[in-house]
Amino acid sequence: MSEHHITPLKTYLVIAGALFCLTAITVWVSYFDFGSLNIIIAMGVATFKATLVALFFMHLLWDDKKNLTMFIMSLMFLGIFITITLLDTGFRGGVNPEVEYPINKRAAFYDSLPLTDTHGNPVDEHGTDSHEGDEDHH
């Protein structure tokens, strides 16, 4: 019987360290606004982290390549799923502008929702000021 590959302990610790660093980086850059690049940077870092997890923690790097093939196939089908769906939902307006955002109208139940404070309690616009005034005396 051929022995299974045993990864050195150091490899696992280095990969975990890299995952922590990349997490810190992705949180740190989220405080800057790069416009539309925000999504690309965040997804790029996430994909790099996911690759490390799949190759090293899930042992795909040392496995029979049929397992890696299957995993990549699932991601390819996910890509097809997203692309084909967006080809519909993203270009409806090209056929008929009226159906471009068929559900973009505000849902009706918002009309009956009262405004709330940050704790979710309803506020009536005149009452808030006096309440805040009370707290100042403490």
Question: According to the binding rule CB under 8 A, does residue 117 interact with another protein?
Answer: yes
**Nearer residue to another protein within complex by CB, 38 or 127:** 38
78 near another protein, judged by CB under 8 A:
yes
Residue closer to another protein by CB (options 114, 133) is 114
21 binds another protein (CB under 8 A): no
DSSP string, 25-83: HHHHHTTS--TTHHHHHHHHHHHHHHHHIIIIIT-TTTS-HHHHHHHHHHHHHHHHHHH
62 binds another protein (CB under 8 A): no
Smaller CB distance to another protein: residue 112 or 130? 112
